[in-house]
Each structure stands twice: as C-alpha cells, then as structure tokens.
Amino acid sequence: MKRPKTLARGALLVFVNAIVFALLLLILEGAAAYFLVLKEVVKSQFVAEHRHTTYDPELGWVNEPNLYIPNMYKPGGYLRINAQGFRNNEDFSERIPPGKKRIICCGDSFTLGYGVDNDHTWCELLRSHDRELETVNMGQGGYGLGQMYLWYRRDAAALEHDLLIVAVITEDFSRMMENSFFGYAKPRFDIEDGRLVLRNVPVPRRGYFIPWFNVAYAESRRRLNTFHLIDWIAHKTGIRPYWSASASSNSTPEKRRRLIYMLLGEMKRLSDERSSRMVLVYLPQLGELSPHGPPDLAKVTARAAEQTGIVFVNLLSEFRKLPYDRAAELFIKEGELRYTGAGGHFNEEGNRVVADLLWQALKEQRLLDARGRIADAR
C-alpha cells in the first residue's frame, strides 16, 4: 500500500520541480531580455534630434537656429541649420528672388534627410533638376501631420513660395494623435463639435530634462512584454504616465481619417492663401515593401487629397515596383548609425531616387511648364 503513495509523492516532486525549472527559465529569459535591452540603450546615443533641436512650447521641438554639426551622422555627414530654423545652407528672403522658383518641403525625418548631409536630402536634390529652384527644407524628425501643419502655418507665413510639398509616411498619421514621441511631449489635434481642437499646449518641457530615460523607455517599451502590460493596465485604469505616447481611448480609425481630411484641408487653405500649389507625397518605409508588410494608409490619403483638391504622388507604389532586394539597398541598415531609430531611413541613393521619382511625377501632374520648370502659380 505504501508504493502508490511513494509514486504519488515522486510524481508530485517531479511536477513541482518542473514548474520551478520552468519559472527559472522564464526568469532567466526575462533577465537576458532586460540585459540585451540595457546593452542596446548603453550603446545607443540619444535620439539624433536631441542634438540639433530645442524645446518649443507650440511645436514640442524645433531646430536650433544657426547650428552646424560637422559629423552629425558619420564622418562628413554634416548637418547645418540656417537662421530661420530650416535645414539649409543659406537663409531665404521673404520674396522669391527674380528668376527663381521656390519649393517648401514639409515632412518628418525622411524629409529632413536623417542620416545624410545637407547636400543629399531629396529636398535639396530637387535643385539638380532645375537651376532656378530654391528648396526650403522644413522636415523635422518625429513630426506628425499636425506638427507639420503648425510649423508651416507659423514659420512659413512670411515666405513666398510657388509649391508646397508635404511628404508623409504611414506613422505620421498615428503621431498626430499622440501626446509624445520618444518621451518628448508634443501637441496633438482632436475634433470637438466638428472642429479641430489643439491639445497638450503649451507643450510640457519635462522630456528635455531626462533624455536618457526617454531612449531607455522607448527601447524597453518596444522590446519587453512587461511594458506592454504596464501600458495595458494604464489604458484600463485611465492612469497614464507622462511619457506614454497614447492620447485617448477614443482615438479610433474613423477619427484618424477625419483628422487627415481636416488637417490636409487646412494646409491646402493656407497654401491657396499664399498663392502656392500643394502636393502631397506618400513616402515608403522599408517594412511596407515586403509582401507581408504592415498595412498603409495610402488609399485613405489619396481619397483625402482628391476631395480637398491636392495633387497626390504615391512613391510607396513606385518603390513596390522595384525588386525587394534592390529597394532595400536604398535604406540605411540597422546598426549602420548609432542613433536610436536610425535604421530604415533613406540613404544617399534612396534620397536621389525619391528626388528623381518626385520630379518625374511633377511633370506628369503638369506642375512644370514646357521647359520642365515649376509653373507659375501666381
């Protein structure tokens, strides 16, 4: 009679040991994951934008005027900001000089030219197609569509221009509904009684006090399930840490669609008031080029552009025509630059391809005159 009890105790002991062993494995796996994340954070510098931007109560962050960093991204990969806060090597007069045409390029880090020097951003490379061109680079890392609109409204108001190019990626439409980017607070738009309402302004400054934590949290949130659990608890309880990017529980796809329509409509209105044509460009991200890549918002954006009278150029579809291996060669590889989030931006060749494709699209959309130059909008 003792033998069954002995067997039962043995089985229980094996079961308990198996549970303990499994828990130890989970703990070790978790510790290893935390160690790897910590290693990456230590290796990484701050987000690149921290080196060339300063706090702005209306926009969150803006370029520091009159700044020159000779080796911003790599040896020789310089970044220069002019006196007006734009990524250009020269300042611009309020009026367009005689014999010149002027384009303003609005966008995020893909327009700024993250990872390349001033001479190799796609906005600057447009000038290689027309010597009469002046191109104003109003790209800024981490900006969403809302910040692009606010910056254009405020700092381009005094600049006469013939063409406004607004270049977006899919993520820009999520950013416009979020309170922060990598821990840096930002303004966001909401809709109230059918009207655009600006929230989170003046923008809190606290993210600039602890830049290391911003990177650590962003990397941890991306890689560790623990932080996904924290975000889930915060969402359920309604208690959100200040670094959380999430805006509100009613940030639905329908609200996002309406915000896209309304913000593009406002930019078009400002462009019209300034006697400028507006072009909306949808830029590709590397992850969207694979057959099983994440969904994009190109169709929604195209419909919004059509209904608001904006010329739409879909460069995502153009990149998808390339063999994947060829397209991948146009982007900065992970680990090629030390900054957090550097991988996946256009390299020099990628910027050149964007500039060439965009110039060709401007021709097809009849925004150029018979000489292949920007047509007069006035």
Q: In this structure, are 221 and 277 located in the same domain?
A: yes
Q: What is the mean pLDDT of residues 261-290?
A: 96
The per-residue pLDDT for range 126-165, each reduced to its tens digit, is 999 999 999 999 999 999 999 999 999 999 988 999 999 9
Report pLDDT for 338.
Answer: 87
User: Does 186 or 37 have the greater pLDDT score?
Assistant: 186
d(CA 90, CA 118): 11
- Provide the residue type at 307 as one letter: Q
Are 275 and 206 contained in the same domain? yes
Is the pLDDT at 91 greater than 70? The verdict is yes
Residue 243 has pLDDT above 90, yes or no: no
Q: What percent of the chain has pLDDT over 90?
A: 66
Looking at the structure, tell me whether residues 6 and 107 fall in a common domain: no
Say yes or no to pLDDT of 42 above 60: no
Digit-coded pLDDT (tens) for 188-200? 999 999 999 999 9
**Residues above pLDDT 70, as percent of the chain:** 75
User: Does a structural domain hold residue 373?
Assistant: no
d(CA 376, CA 378): 6
The pLDDT value recorded for residue 100 is 95
> What CATH number should be reported for the domain holding residue 123?
3.40.50.1110
Chain segment 294-343, per-residue pLDDT in tens: 777 899 999 999 999 999 999 999 999 999 999 999 999 999 998 888 99
Tokens of 299: 């169709």
* Cα–Cα distance list, 151 to 85, 144, 157, 219 (Å): 11, 11, 9, 28
Across-strand partners of 190? 197
Give yes or no: residues 71 and 85 share one domain: yes
pLDDT at 74: 94
Residue 249 has pLDDT above 50, yes or no: no
Q: Tell whether 16 and 79 lie within a shared domain.
A: no
Both 315 and 222 in a single domain? Answer: yes
The reply to whether 208 and 325 lie within a common domain is yes
Structural domain contains residue 163: yes
Structure tokens at 317: 């579809």
Are 159 and 213 part of one and the same domain?
A: yes
Query: Can you read off the two tokens belonging to residue 272?
Result: 């019209």
- Calculate the average pLDDT of the chain: 85
Chain-centroid distance of CA 255 in Å reads: 20
Domain count within the chain: 2
pLDDT at residue number 219: 57
Residue 199 pairs with which residues in a beta bridge?
188
Q: Are residues 267 and 209 in the same domain?
A: yes
Q: Does any domain span residue 377?
A: no
Over 80: is that where the pLDDT of 34 sits? no
Are residues 22 and 110 part of one domain? no
- In-domain check, residue 27: yes
Helix (H) or strand (E) holding 54: strand 53-56
Assess whether 29 and 98 both reside in one domain. Answer: no
Which domain does 30 fall in, by range? 1-43
